[in-house]
């Protein structure tokens, strides 16, 4: 569950972050929480972010996928898209997340796809659709991130940075 796959990024994005000494796949690996929950980011660009998460280990007492687990997947995918939109001079900070849960899932893998609703200079909003293995919508979410300028002390807190 904790093993990360290689994320596909546009070459110009890899080059931009490499020039800053940042290991882009490590930076966008979903972090410690995402790793614990088995989140795998499969594709990442400012236009579309795709990731998966197992239902097993992420359930509530009735054996259904926990709504908070869907929220973690949604915020992870939307944040990655926002960070890629903002570029290396910005940090994406989630300021609003809402999730509507449509159906329960008891097993398998869910897939989330984040697409932009708005990409501005100071905010980015992504819609995230989470589906089960049969392609049925499990959750609809929307995440808005503030895009703030990078501060000197930020690199010390970024996983995978050269700092």
pLDDT of res. 6: 55
> Residues 96-117: pLDDT tens digits?
999 999 999 999 999 999 999 9
Count of beta carbons in the 10 Å neighbourhood of residue 6: 8
pLDDT of res. 15: 78
> Residues 148-161: pLDDT tens digits?
998 776 655 554 44
Average pLDDT over residues 71-91: 93
Q: Examine the residue annotation and report whether 75 is marked as an active-site residue of this protein.
A: yes
Catalytic residue among 56, 75, 127, 133: 75
pLDDT of res. 27: 63
C-alpha distance from residue 69 to each of 10, 41, 53 (Å): 28, 15, 9
């Amino acid at each position: 569950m904790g093993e990360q796959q290689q994320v596909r990024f546009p070459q110009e994005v890899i080059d931009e972050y490499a020039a800053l000494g940042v290991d882009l796949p490590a930076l966008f690996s979903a972090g410690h929480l995402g790793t614990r929950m088995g989140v795998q980011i499969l594709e990442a660009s400012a236009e579309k972010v795709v990731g998966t998460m197992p239902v097993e280990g992420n359930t509530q007492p009735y054996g259904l996928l926990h709504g908070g687990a869907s929220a973690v997947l949604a915020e992870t995918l939307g944040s990655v898209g926002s960070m890629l939109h903002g570029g290396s001079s910005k940090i994406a900070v989630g300021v609003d997340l809402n999730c509507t849960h449509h159906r329960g899932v008891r097993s398998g893998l869910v897939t989330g796809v984040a697409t932009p609703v708005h990409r501005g200079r100071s905010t980015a909003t992504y819609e995230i659709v989470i589906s089960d293995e049969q392609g049925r919508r499990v959750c609809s979410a929307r995440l808005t991130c503030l895009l703030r300028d990078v501060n000197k002390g930020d690199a010390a807190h970024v996983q995978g940075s050269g700092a």
